[in-house]
Structure 1
Amino acid sequence: MALFELTRTLVDINSVTGSEQACAEFLRGHLAERGYEVELQPVSDGRANVFARHGAPEIVLSTHMDTVPPFVPSREDTEFIYGRGSCDAKGILAAQVEAAERLRAGGIKNFALLFLVGEETLSDGARAANRAPRGSHFIINGEPTENRLAVGTKGILRVDIRARGRTAHSAYPHLGESAIEKLLDILNDLRRLPLPRDATLGDATVNIGVISGGTAANVIPGEARAEVLFRTVDDGRALREAVEGALRDRCEYEFVRQTPAMRMEKLNGFESSVVAFTTDLPNLTAWGRPLLVGPGSIAVAHTDHECIRKSDLVAAVELYVRLVRELEHRP
């Protein structure tokens, strides 16, 4: 199956996070037919990673199978392939499979492919894989970096907040206590927290991504919720302490995800960059020294116009082949 055809085939398999198994089964069959040793690594009920190797897996090409909702089928024109996951990360996956075929044809026998579930949420696929490493020395993770080696990524600190009040008729506000007003005060305090800066990664940032609460305009709201996500530039521990200080005794809260910022391998002769997003790599520490690179732009990932340039896919295949050949000579 040619590169563009494989990309579209993968995009046309609905694999929104939590429902990746059809994609995993397709890849198991596709790779087994080509002579790879393939296994499914169980992650949770009905979900599994795909691990396929050719010889001793000293170098691993990896990306994720899951996508954000909603499912959007593929289409193409002369320049682009469109659809959910075309950029993040099924085009990348197809490029890695094609690179693997080129490597096999060139006599390389020390690599493997690792395709993961759950990257878009809690990285549960990566966590499961990290409990069962295969002795690799390097892992090349694929994300949309515009085919430039990312030398650093920001981390994540996400906190979910629930403020409680007391309902009342809005004509008699003194009889109630507004949970929304409580929440707004809390969120304003979080926005005013001093955020760290790193010389390489830049500024940490905060996004109030979800707010909900109340039942009607004439009811004092008894409950309000928010989901807040910080993009961190270090391990996030000091920021977490500051957030806890702002929230303590004012609301209920839960830190649902904390992933540190990360530095990756640099290689001479390869164009490099820094990215603000987070990947599976912090949860794949047992798989060797990390590299991060892939075709496509994060600017269109997760959008209704997600796409990937065909020429970038072709270039990515050559880039992955070149990387593996470069790394196989390193200790």
Structure 2
Amino acid sequence: MSLFELTKSLMNIPSVSGNEEAVGYFLRDHLETLGWTVELQPVSENQNNVIATLNDTPRVWLSTHMDTVPPFIPPTEDNEKIYGRGACDAKGIIAAQITAAEQLRKEGITDIGLLYTVEEERASTGAKAANLHPLAAKCEYMINGEPTDNDLAIGSKGSFRLMIKTSGKAAHSAYPEEGDSAIETLLDILEDIRHTHFPHDDFFGETTVNIGTIDGGLALNIIPPKAEAGLLIRLTTKREPIEQALESVIRGRAEIEVLSCSEPVKLFPVEGFTQKVVRFTTDIPHMSNWGKPLLLGPGSILVAHTKDEFVLKKDLEISVEFYINLAKKLLATNYTNVTNQAV
């Protein structure tokens, strides 16, 4: 199966987070047909990571995630691009990594493993499970794939997901003085957060806050007794100073429920590649047992998660060569200058 055919075959299988079972089975069958030894590592009742090897102790691993954000968008293509959900995030990357690994194998290089996880787009439950796998201790380098425009990321911001929940008192809307609006309290808090100066880091850049969801109230004629907002904060520091800043802003007016947290990570640099810091987070913070982390992949994060997601075919082809060259460099050289390091 060609690089483009494999990309489209993967994209044709819906795998929104929590529904990765079918694409995992497809990968297992495809890799076994190619001669790989494949393990489905259980993560939950209907979710499995895919782990594929050519020998017992692969030193370099290629990895990314099988899940996508909603909604499912089937693939289409023209002469230059493949469009649809997962084109660049991250099914095109899976196809490029498998193609690269097969080329390395043809050259007699078998110190390569493949690891594909579930639920990266939610809470990285697949990565957390993979981190406990015994093969992790034998890994020297983990090349994670995300859309970096084929640049080598030397750092990625963290992510801090939380809910802010307010409580009030229900009352008839004609008599607002008898109630206490949880929505108005929440709006005041969110306005204060929007004007809060969060930490800046010279390496990672600005801390940013996205108010992603707002929910509350019962009916138009009832003073709302409950309201909540979901926030995603892109971390450039550890979590603690952000929590302290939020608590100072909220001043007891709401409850904070932490959903998940991944701290920013400095990644492994290799000469010969364009390097940059990316603003998004990945599975890498949850895979600390898998050797030194690297991050590179085709496509632009700016079109990932959009209705117009695509990947350039030439970028897929370039990424195959980059994965091959990167793996060869890592296998041939004992790099020791950087370790997997959270800030």
Structural mapping, 1:214-253, within 5 Å: 214-247=217-250, 249-253=252-256
How far 1:220 sits from its partner (Å)?
1.1
SS at match of 2:90: helix
Structural mapping, 1:193-272, within 5 Å: 193-247=196-250, 249-272=252-275
| Alignment RMSD | 1.1
1:180 aligns with 2:172: no
Contact 1:170 1:218 in 2 (8 A): yes
Deviates more, 1:234-243 or 1:224-233: 234-243
Which residue is 1:51 aligned to? 51
TM-score by length of 1: 0.98
Contact 1:133 1:287 in 2 (8 A): no
1:83 aligns with 2:84: yes
Alignment CA distance shift 1:172-1:158 (3 Å): same
How far 1:194 sits from its partner (Å)?
2.0
| CA-to-aligned-CA distance 1:114-136 (integer Å, 9 cap, x gap) | 00001000000000000114110
SS at match of 2:64: strand
SS at match of 1:200: coil
Deviates more, 1:310-319 or 1:242-251: 242-251
2:172 aligned to which of 158, 169, 173: 169
SS at match of 2:121: coil
Which residue is 1:27 aligned to? 27
SS at match of 1:286: coil
**CA–CA distance in structure 2, aligned partners of residues 115 and 236 of structure 1:** 28
How far 1:248 sits from its partner (Å)?
5.4
- Greater than 6 Å deviation, 4+ residue runs: none
Alignment-mate amino acid for residue 102 of structure 2: E
SS at match of 1:151: strand
1:62 aligns with 2:63: yes
How far 1:311 sits from its partner (Å)?
0.3
Which residue is 2:2 aligned to? 2
Which residue is 2:302 aligned to? 299
TM-score by length of 2: 0.94
Structural mapping, 1:90-129, within 5 Å: 90-129=91-130
SS at match of 1:48: strand
Which segments of 5 or more consecutive residues in structure 2 lack a partner in the other structure? 335-343
**CA–CA distance in structure 1, aligned partners of residues 145 and 92 of structure 2:** 10
Alignment-mate amino acid for residue 52 of structure 1: A
How far 1:167 sits from its partner (Å)?
1.3
How far 1:197 sits from its partner (Å)?
1.0
Alignment-mate amino acid for residue 81 of structure 2: F
Alignment-mate amino acid for residue 103 of structure 1: L
Alignment-mate amino acid for residue 184 of structure 2: E
SS at match of 2:289: helix
Contact 1:18 1:118 in 2 (8 A): yes
**CA–CA distance in structure 1, aligned partners of residues 118 and 38 of structure 2:** 16
**CA–CA distance in structure 1, aligned partners of residues 192 and 261 of structure 2:** 20
**CA–CA distance in structure 2, aligned partners of residues 133 and 303 of structure 1:** 37
Alignment-mate amino acid for residue 255 of structure 2: E
Which residue is 1:288 aligned to? 291
**CA–CA distance in structure 2, aligned partners of residues 234 and 261 of structure 1:** 7
Aligned length: 331
Identity of aligned residues (%): 51
Which segments of 5 or more consecutive residues in structure 1 lack a partner in the other structure? none
Deviates more, 1:221-230 or 1:87-96: 221-230
How far 1:15 sits from its partner (Å)?
0.5
